[in-house]
Structure 1
């Protein structure tokens, strides 16, 4: 297969996570980088031996670029994606796909009219840890999956991030920043979501700005989100994301079935081994096995384990070449975004939110060994 020719707009910290291991995907050819900061893009192009260091407009006008990877700040995801579509490019965007359903629908309509493919990260569900988890679920190792618990919680990003204000602005917050990792993996496990019920408080209107006495960060988005998802398959999931918690002893992602339980790896990562526990007789006693007790076993990885974020580009390029819908494609991205936004809508309106969109459950990746090429058929 001819390598897909990729141009990347935005050369911030996330760029490393795509390009540091891009060599494991020989079917991806990064031909250009672009940014509004010409010095930064020249430095990054030299760092990764990319031939062209361009402005965004120059990249969109470059006929060599087939697929645009949109790594701009979240509020620019939709505008830049629409500009790339207008230039006749396929687009894979960092999460979130957009900050509103209106923007997302505009993207889908424009892509359909232009005959190009669009999609969105996160792509961690394509990594070895989650694909192995998916295979264990599909192969019946925990029986029929009926429920899940997913969480991510910390004290916020202001203690280490150099530009934290956008994270506490509308269109961001923990649900749209870290929530996509949880929701995409849950949809990978269970398929599309039918209904959301949630509560979304914020602990304060401001936070102290670290290292700046007397300065505050204005909080304009919920910072603690809890809710439940009902899936079309009949399964349910409890979700919690928070920037109001110092520490906790909760799993990142567990799936519970009629015959056992599965602790998946961190959904923000591409690797890690799932831990499996089958139901045991002691669980049925009056004094049942305590949480974390019993015979939990780390399972062998069934997929190659060095993907990192470049796997999203490789899978997207394969789909373009073969005329397929990418596993991270537009309908999937729109559905995940609708679910993410439904948490705050449910809390504000005090009711369940029925999800109007649907999508195909992403196709599992074929298992390949450590030295075998990645496969996306």
Structure 2
């Protein structure tokens, strides 16, 4: 196993709800050390530092000026991602950001050019494709379990975030919406499994002009909706694979949430009974059916194989492991390679989503100007022993 340093020092900007799982994951491993946290609200950063044992709470400006910080973990709201990442790069620090990568295409190009100019790495969520579930899917594909892939399908239908998020406003403002919020999980998984996308077509609608918060201290308050909340898309991959995707905040319930990859000799299915924490997560079942066990097969099916064969995972990270992409970025710095959850991958995914949105207005297929390398699988023995032996895999 490759030796990795214990001194990759990280500063967190953005101390909101999502930061807790990042900090919990990172605290388990020696590869990184979160040494500072910052937000626009000083009391929020002080509380986060106390909660997770972070030695320094400060302003974003103070964090960026700290010469001892190697990397900024950017967990701000989507509209601020590009600005904060740019400031971090200008300060000479690597960046790992939440999704989406940017909300404007020109910002994405600027960030990648700046990182290259500075000799710095950019990593970006989602990193769920590094989890045990998606690594199992990739292994099945690489082993030829369904033959040559021919198609992919993804559907996630929720009725928004207002039932569980106390401050869901930003999901319905520019930079939000189901395509930019949920799309990165599914499109990133598709690129990891099938390679880059070449062209897309899309349709979308905004079903409600206002939505009501249904939890927390603002229960009953109304929000304006400024983005489309139901998105349909068609996808054409460079490999020739064809795909379709539904991302919606307007569906009360559905029997179809799932992710499927079709091949010449079988199907891989990610069942997704809970669309909020299903295929956009690190863990969960992976089902396989081949032509021999298909319902259309004339061959008798063995007992217990009347439906799908569940494939057991052999990889780690079969729990919520947000932050895994940042751990891989730390390893990439030492190994002088690109991180798997890279800025190039994130920008390609954003480019595809941006083109889907444009297609809905132009009623034409949109060519994708960018491409990216298909990320390599994560080694089964990735990462050295964790800090707490009780967490060891």
| Number of the residue aligned with 1:239 | 245
2:292 aligns with one of 260, 268, 280: 280
Residues 226 and 241 in structure 1, CA contact (< 8 A), matched pair in contact too: yes
Mapped to 1, the partners of 2:385 and 2:75 lie a distance apart of 29
2:345 aligns with one of 311, 332, 349: 332
Going from structure 1 to structure 2, the CA distance change for 1:32 and 1:273 (only over 3 Å counts) comes to same
Residues 155 and 245 in structure 1, CA contact (< 8 A), matched pair in contact too: yes
Mapped to 1, the partners of 2:91 and 2:153 lie a distance apart of 42
| Number of the residue aligned with 1:315 | 328
Q: What are the within-5 Å matches in structure 2 for residues 19-34 of structure 1? A: 19-34=23-38
| Number of the residue aligned with 1:126 | 130
Mapped to 1, the partners of 2:156 and 2:219 lie a distance apart of 29
Mapped to 1, the partners of 2:113 and 2:161 lie a distance apart of 35
Q: Give TM-score scaled by structure 1 length.
A: 0.92
Residues 157 and 257 in structure 2, CA contact (< 8 A), matched pair in contact too: no
| Number of the residue aligned with 2:9 | 5
Q: Give TM-score scaled by structure 2 length.
A: 0.88
Mapped to 2, the partners of 1:246 and 1:74 lie a distance apart of 25
Q: Post-superposition shift, 1:204?
A: 2.8
Mapped to 1, the partners of 2:295 and 2:287 lie a distance apart of 18
Going from structure 1 to structure 2, the CA distance change for 1:137 and 1:346 (only over 3 Å counts) comes to same
| Number of the residue aligned with 2:355 | 342
Gapped runs of 5+ residues in structure 1?
Answer: none
| Number of the residue aligned with 2:233 | 227
2:379 aligns with one of 356, 362, 366: 366
| Number of the residue aligned with 1:67 | 71
Q: Post-superposition shift, 1:371?
A: 9.4
1:162 aligns with one of 162, 166, 169: 166
The size of the alignment, in residue pairs, is 368
Q: Post-superposition shift, 1:355?
A: 0.3
Gapped runs of 5+ residues in structure 2?
Answer: 272-277, 387-393
| Number of the residue aligned with 1:89 | 93
Tell me the C-alpha RMSD between the 2 structures. 2.2
Residues 27 and 33 in structure 2, CA contact (< 8 A), matched pair in contact too: no
Going from structure 1 to structure 2, the CA distance change for 1:280 and 1:110 (only over 3 Å counts) comes to same
| Number of the residue aligned with 2:254 | 248
Is it true that 1:300 corresponds to 2:312 in the alignment? yes
Q: Post-superposition shift, 1:75?
A: 0.5
Q: Post-superposition shift, 1:252?
A: 2.4
